[in-house]
Chains A and B, each alone.
Chain A
Amino acid sequence: MIRTCLVVDDSRVIRKVAGRIIEDMGYEVAEAGDGMEALAWCRAAMPDAILLDWNMPVMNGIEFLKALRAEPEGKTPNVVFCSVENDPARIAEALDAGADEYIMKPFDGEIILSKLSMVGAAR
């Protein structure tokens, strides 16, 4: 069965670059430009994994993650934060909010593969 990954980032370039890397890992990739759009995606079809930016308009990554974790019980995707925020206290904040892993931008393909593997989401 093909696994799905939702790439959530307000940068179209990041969505395309990360999406291509994740597609090469065998995922079917969907994109969302902010947390609200991502939440709508998840309510329609919960992905297996989410690559999540922090700073986005409308609804940021933390707000989205809290809303996602508050959704009625069901499939809970592995969430890997992917942000320019690289201060340890900020990273801890994302983990406290329910992130499974964290990527500090800039990233490369090895890092995405490594992090998705850690949360058991890599094929």
Chain B
Amino acid sequence: MTPDDAEALKMMVQSRSGVLVNADNTYQIESRLGPIARREGKASVDELIAAIRSNRDERLMWAVTEAMVNTESWFFRDSEPFDRLRKDILPRLAAARSRPIRIWSASCAGGQEAYSLAMAVAEERPSLGDARIELFGSDISEACIHKAQSGLYNPFEAQRGLPIRMLLRYFEKQDEMWKARSDLAGALRWRRINLLSDLTPLGTMDVIFCRNTVNAFDRSSRRRVLEQFRGLLVEDGYLFLGLDEGADDIEGFYPAAGLPGVYTRTPDRQVEAA
């Protein structure tokens, strides 16, 4: 790949998704774009990039963008954020709400995070009374949303992070795959969303999970996304970022006590340390 092509790829992805591509990581570029090149009948990734640069085919540019965005995910990643949501935040919100509690997995990749949230809700359900809970999963990648909607996971995916008893309780075996049971899948709504777009039509949220995502953005995209989250979160809502991600530089977010990467909208309603 020529330096010009690498730069064109980088700009293409960044302008559409806000995600910074490491143009020096040719292995990653080849492995992610190789399947698209083959599908499009191109002899190589170089030929694919060259064709896009000359045709400006919007469909293909989006396919490349989606492929370059990191979609690695697993169930209950880091586990503690989900424990905190389940044991502390959900009961608190349930007691404070007469309207539905709205929880959003904003960058859900193949759906593991959103299903983890749905399982956390289901496990805690006995202590939540008649609280209504709405769960949403979204991702920039159409392919990811299709996978998430299917609720189908291969044995490697199904075992990573998911305790065996929960796998048996919430999934059923379908040939060699594991499929989310209908009551779990039915608790979730899916939508393709680019976090750089105007998010206000989504309405307010009580909890936003957007873990291991914002650090991949360029500086202005990261700020735009976090400021939009701040606008969507209700005053006593919670934002969950990755353990090594932060929103300390965004006015109106306050770090929650005891757990890295969790933020509240008001300092007097922080999560209590466990």
Contacts and interface: CB of A to CB of B under 8 A. Distances in A.
B159 A103 contact: yes
B160 A95 contact: no
A24 B176 CA distance: 30
A92 interface: yes
A91 B159 contact: no
Contact of B159 (A92, A95, A111, A117): A111
B173 A87 contact: yes
Interface residues of A, number: 19
Interface residues of B, number: 14
A15 to B, nearest CB: 20
A91 B168 contact: yes
A96 to B, nearest CB: 11
B34 interface: no
B212 to A, nearest CB: 15
B163 A110 contact: no
B164 interface: yes
B163 A101 contact: yes
A108 to B, nearest CB: 6
A104 B79 CA distance: 21
A91 B164 contact: yes
B161 interface: yes
A-B interface, 4 closest residue pairs, ranked by CB to CB distance from nearest:
A102-B164, A111-B159, A104-B155, A114-B160
Interface of A: 86-88, 91-92, 95, 101-104, 106-108, 110-111, 114-115, 117-118
